[in-house]
Chain A
């Protein structure tokens, strides 16, 4: 599969624990995006990388959230001290310059 890959697909964690998600973009894509989607809503922008540089972060991205893309390839999204309100689908997308983005299957996070 040469599409955007996200791992894990599902994650159940206890409140207060830290979680980390991984996204592997399409290999030639230099842009990578993280979105969050809750039931019945559209995806909400979280952050965006061009190569290894994080160019924009949403106000939704509190200080408990951190994203990295150290070598301009895969990216990780970490949530520290998870809260029940963090339960959502976390979607990653990638694109090349000024081209449409392709989404991964997402990581569904459930905080209990």
Chain B
């Protein structure tokens, strides 16, 4: 089955700096890669996703890149703000849609004011 590895497990940045979270996946058939943000005690919320026919996608301060050959994808957050502090999960699934999704182990991001 799919295995998703995520690094780093914790990340501290100064407010205004950029944060980068990296993930690798094992199943070459995976073609949908969502990213979720989970604040303490709350539900995971989708912040951005990318499909395998696209190499990069950007939404305001958040961008994702995908390298299918190397089977890795990354989340980039620019101009970080304290409200970006949360746990971020990458994930991967097959079939171009949201079926069985395998999550990474999470990155706890702390933005220091």
Q: Which residues of A contact B (CB under 8 A)?
A: 31, 33, 40-45, 48, 55-56, 58, 91, 95, 97-106
| A99→B106 contact, CB < 8 A | no
In the complex, the answer to whether B44 meets A56 with C-beta atoms within 8 Å is no
Q: How far is the CB of B33 from chain A (nearest CB, A)?
A: 11
Residues of B within 8 Å of A102, CB to CB, are 46
Chain B contact residue count (CB 8 A cutoff): 22
Q: Tell me which of A44, A98, A105 contacts B97 (CB under 8 A).
A: A98
B residues adjacent to A (C-beta < 8 A): 4, 6, 34, 42-46, 49, 89, 91, 96-106
Inter-subunit contact A95/B98 (CB<8 Å): yes
> What chain B residues lie within 8 Å of A104 (beta carbons)?
43
Known contacts: A42-B91, A42-B105, A100-B49. The answer to whether A91 contacts B44 by CB under 8 A is yes
Q: With A and B bound together, what is the CA distance between A104 and B6 in angstroms?
A: 24
Query: Chain A's nearest CB lies how many Å from the CB of B87?
Result: 9
Q: Are A42 and B106 in contact (CB under 8 A)?
A: yes
A45 touches B98 (CB 8 A): no
Q: A77 to chain B: closest CB distance in Å?
A: 16
Q: Judging by beta carbons under 8 Å apart, are A48 and B100 in contact?
A: yes
Q: A31-B98, A97-B97, A99-B98 are in contact. Are A43 and B89 (CB under 8 A)?
A: yes
Measured between beta carbons, the chain A residues less than 8 angstroms from B98 are: 31, 95, 98-101
Cross-chain contact B42 with A105 (CB below 8 angstroms): yes
CB contact between A103 and one of B44, B100, B105, B106 (< 8 Å): that residue: B44
Is the beta-carbon distance between A45 and B101 smaller than 8 angstroms? yes
Name B102's contact: one of A31, A45, A97, A98 (CB within 8 Å): A45
Q: A58-B100, A91-B44, A103-B45 are in contact. List 13 more A-B contacts (CB 8 A).
A: A33-B101, A40-B106, A42-B89, A42-B104, A43-B89, A55-B99, A98-B98, A99-B97, A99-B98, A100-B34, A100-B98, A101-B98, A102-B46
